[in-house]
Chain A
Amino acid sequence: MASRLTAVLGIGQTKYESARNDVSIAGLVREAAHRALADADLSWGDVDAVVIGKAPDFFEGVMMPELYLADVLGCVGKPILRVHTAGSVGGSTALVAASLIQAGIHRRVLTVGFEKQSESNATWALSLPQPFSVSVNAGAGGYFSPIIRRYMERSGAPKLIGCMVAYKDRRNALLNPYAHLHQHDLTFDKVVEAPMLWDPIRYSETCPSSDGACALIIGDELAGDTSSTPVAWIHGAAMRSEPNNFPGRDEVNPRASQDCAIDVFRQAGITNPRVEIDAVEIYVPFSWYEPMWLESLGFAERDEGWRMVEDGSTCLDGGDLPVNCSGGVLSSNPIGASGMIRFAEAALQVRGMAGEHQVDGARRALGHAYGGGAQYFAMWVVGSNKP
C-alpha cells in the first residue's frame, strides 16, 4: 500500500487585518472555511472531517477552541482534530488533513488555520513567565535576532539584504488583496531608516500581528479528477522536528530543516529545486530568514543565499525563483494560519489562480512553515499535474 493521490480542491482566506472587529472567532474561521467550500464548489455536507490548527490557546483565551467551533465548521457528528506545532502549525495542520486522504480514510477534508490575535496581545501570550527562570527576552525577535546576527557574520552578506527582502515582500503584498499590510507609499529608504527593534532586526523587517484564517479543502484522486476548478496535486509532504538547544546545534541552518527539505523533494522526484520549482512560499517572519531558508532548502549554497536576494532572483518580476509573491509572513501574520497560508499560496500558484501575484506558468511550488526556536518544520510540494 502506498500514499493515495491527494489534491487541494479549494482555498479560502480572510482579509488579514490587525483587528477583525466585525466578527466573532467563529465568524472569522467560518469566513475562510466558507470561501474554501465555495472555491471547491462544495457544501458543508460534502466534508467528511475537519482538521483545525492554531498557535497557543492563550492568544484567544479559549482552551481547545475546536470544541466550541465544531458547530461552526459543520462538524457535528464528524471527526475533528486539533493540531498545534508552534509557528509551523498551519503547515502541519494541512499535512495532517492530507494524511487522512493519503491513507484512504476520507474523501474530502476541510482544514483551517486561524488566529485572532486582537483578542489579546501576542507579546503577553509569548512572554508568559517560565517558573524558576529569569526573563531577558522580549518577544520572538529577541530569540531570532542572535541567529540572524550569526548568519550575517558567517556569510558576510551586505547589511541591507534584509531590507531588500522586506521591501520586495511589501511590494508583492500590494498585489494580494488579502494581505494585511498594503503600504502604497513605502520606499526602500523608508525600510532602511526604520528604527532597530532587535538589532540587527529593524521594525520594517518584522512581521505584523494579524487576525485571520485560511482554509483548504483537500480531496482524493476522484475528487481532484472531477473538480470543476483547477486543483493542486500534492507531490510531497514532510515534517521534521529537533530539540531547541543542544551542543553543536547549527541554529542558522538546522538539521531538521535540511532533512525536511531533502525528504519533500525526494518524494516529489526533484533533484535540482532551483530549476524544478517555479514558485516558493517560505515562512519568513523576519526578513533575513529568506536567504537563510533558501540555503537550508537547497536553492542556494551555504552562505550564498543572500546573492539571490541581491541579484533579484527572488523577485516576482523577472526573478527565476519568485519567493513569497503573496507578500509572505512579513505582510500578514495570523500566527496559527501563517503556515497554512504559505501552503495555500503555493497551491494557488500551480492552480494558476493567484491573480495579480501569479507567477506565469508555475507548474510546481513549495509551501514551507517553521516554528518554535526554528525547530519544527512542515513542507509540501504541489503541482498542476498529477505526480
Chain B
Amino acid sequence: MTDMTEVQLMVRLLEAARSSIGLEQADIGFTCSGSSDFLAGQAFSFVQTLDAVGAFPPISESHVEMDGAFAFYEAWVKLQIGEIDTALVYSYGKSSPGSIRDVLALQFDPYYVAPLWPPSDAVIALQARQLLEFGIVSLEGLAEIAVRSQRNAVGNPNAVRASSTVTVCDILAEEVVTDPLRPSDLAAEADGGCAVVLATGSRARDLCDRPAWIRGIDHRIDTQALGVRDLSTVPSVVAAAQLAGAMEDRIDLAELHSLSTSQEALLLREIGLGSEIEINPSGGALAGNTLMAAGLMRIAEAADRISKGEADRALAHATSGPCLQQNLICVLEGA
C-alpha cells in the first residue's frame, strides 16, 4: 500500500525507466498506458496520471482500460508499422482505497451475475474446485506452487509476500478461507506500477547491451459466462501461446500472471510448461498482484532476466477478466 498518488508513483518510475537507457520523453515515438477508472474510483483517472509523463511538447499517446500488457501490445503494433523506433509503456494500480473483491464483480454481465456481487476470490475458488475434483491438481500441488512463489519472491524487492522458510506443511496448515483455497493460494494485493521502454532493431542495440527481443506476441479472449465455459481449460491461452510461437523452441523461464495457485497450475498445463522450466522467478503475481499492472510486470520481469543474461528465451503471460478469460503471451529472446 502506498500513500503516494498514482501520478507521484509514476513520475519516479517513468523517470527511472527512461534514464536507465538515457532517453528523454521527447525521444519517445509513442506512449501507451493502462489503468482502470473503477479501481481509482474516478472517471478519467488516467488524465491526471498523464502529468507524470512530461507530455509537453505534446506526445503521441494512447490509453487502454486494460492491464499494461495490452498497452504493451498496442505499442508493439505501432512499432511494427515502422514509422517510429521507440515506445514507452506504463501502467499502475492502486487498489488499497477500494475493495477489489467487490469492484471486480462489476466485470461480469450486468443483468445476471454482477447483481449477485460474487467476490473475486470466490470466483477463483469455483474454478479451483473443478481443477481439484477433475484431478488436474491436488491441494499439495497448490501448496507447492505457493511455496515456490514465496521463496522466489525473497529476492524481489517489489514482492509483498515472500518467505525463505515456508514449507508445504505450513501452507496446508493455513485455514481454508475461500473454500477450497487458503490465504497463500490467493495473490497478495499490492499497489504499484510498471514502466517499460520498447525499441526496434538497431535502436534497441544502441540503447541496451542485451535487449530482450519480442519474438512473438498474441492475445485472445474466451467467453465470459462461467457456466458456459469449461473452467478446466483455457482455449484462449493455448491459442495465444501457439500464435506467439511459444513452443517452437525451448523456454528457459516463464512469468505467469496467475491470481491464484490454481490458476497457475492450470496455466502450466494449458501452455505446456514442464518442470524443466523456471516458473515465476520473481514470485509472480502471487507475491504481489498490482491490478492493471501485474501483467506488464510479468513481461518486465522476464525481459529483465534476459537482459541480465540469466535466460535466453522466456515466456511472459498476462490475463484479464474472471477465471483467465483473456490472455496474452509474449515470447522474449536474448539474441
Contacts and interface: CB of A to CB of B under 8 A. Distances in A.
Interface of A: 1-4, 24-25, 55-58, 60-64, 67-68, 70-71, 75-86, 92, 95-96, 99-100, 102-105, 125-126, 128, 130, 238-244, 246, 254-256, 259-260, 372-373, 375-376
28 contacts: A1-B82, A2-B83, A4-B81, A56-B37, A57-B106, A63-B36, A63-B103, A64-B107, A67-B322, A68-B108, A76-B223, A77-B222, A79-B221, A80-B326, A81-B70, A83-B63, A83-B64, A92-B62, A95-B62, A96-B62, A103-B80, A241-B50, A241-B58, A241-B59, A242-B56, A242-B57, A244-B51, A372-B47
Contact of B235 (A57, A64, A77, A239): A77
B333 interface: no
Interface string B85-117: 000000000000000000110111111001000
Contact of A81 (B36, B74, B81): B74
Given A63-B38, A96-B74, A105-B80, A128 B61 contact: no
B73 interface: yes
B173 interface: no
A78 B43 CA distance: 29
Nearest to B61: A241
A61 to B, nearest CB: 7
A85 B81 CA distance: 21
A374 to B, nearest CB: 11
Nearest first, the 7 A-B pairs at minimum CB distance are A256-B58, A1-B82, A103-B80, A56-B43, A241-B61, A84-B65, A63-B106
B224 A70 contact: yes
B221 to A, nearest CB: 5
A246 B55 CA distance: 11
B70 A64 contact: no
A298 to B, nearest CB: 16
Contacts of A68: 107-110, 224
B10 to A, nearest CB: 13
Contact of B114 (A62, A75, A86, A96): A62
A293 to B, nearest CB: 16
A244 B70 CA distance: 25
B74 A84 contact: no
Given A63-B103, A126-B43, A57 B38 contact: yes
Output the residue of A55, A56, A67 with the most chain B CB within 10 A: A67
B217 to A, nearest CB: 10
Nearest to B66: A82
A5 to B, nearest CB: 12
Contact of A239 (B47, B60, B65, B81): B60
Contacts of B56: 242-243, 246, 255
Contacts of A55: 43
B64 A239 contact: no
Interface string B213-231: 0000011111111000000
B27 to A, nearest CB: 16
A240 B30 CA distance: 10
A60 B110 contact: yes
Contacts of B108: 68
A67 B55 contact: no
Contact of B55 (A1, A57, A130, A242): A242
A63 B104 contact: yes
Given A58-B38, A70-B221, A83-B65, A243 B80 contact: no
Contacts of A246: 56
Interface string B65-79: 110001001100110
A67 B224 contact: yes
Contacts of A81: 64, 66, 70, 73-74
B42 interface: yes
Contacts of B321: 64, 67
Contacts of A77: 220-222, 235-236, 239
Contacts of A102: 81
Contacts of A99: 74, 77-78, 81
A352 B36 CA distance: 39
Contacts of A126: 43
A100 B220 CA distance: 15
Given A3-B83, A56-B43, A68-B107, A79 B58 contact: no
Contacts of B183: none
B155 interface: no
Contacts of A2: 81-83
A244 B80 CA distance: 30
Contacts of A86: 44, 47
B260 interface: no
Contacts of A372: 44, 47
A63 B43 contact: no
A255 B58 contact: yes
B107 A242 contact: no
A53 to B, nearest CB: 9
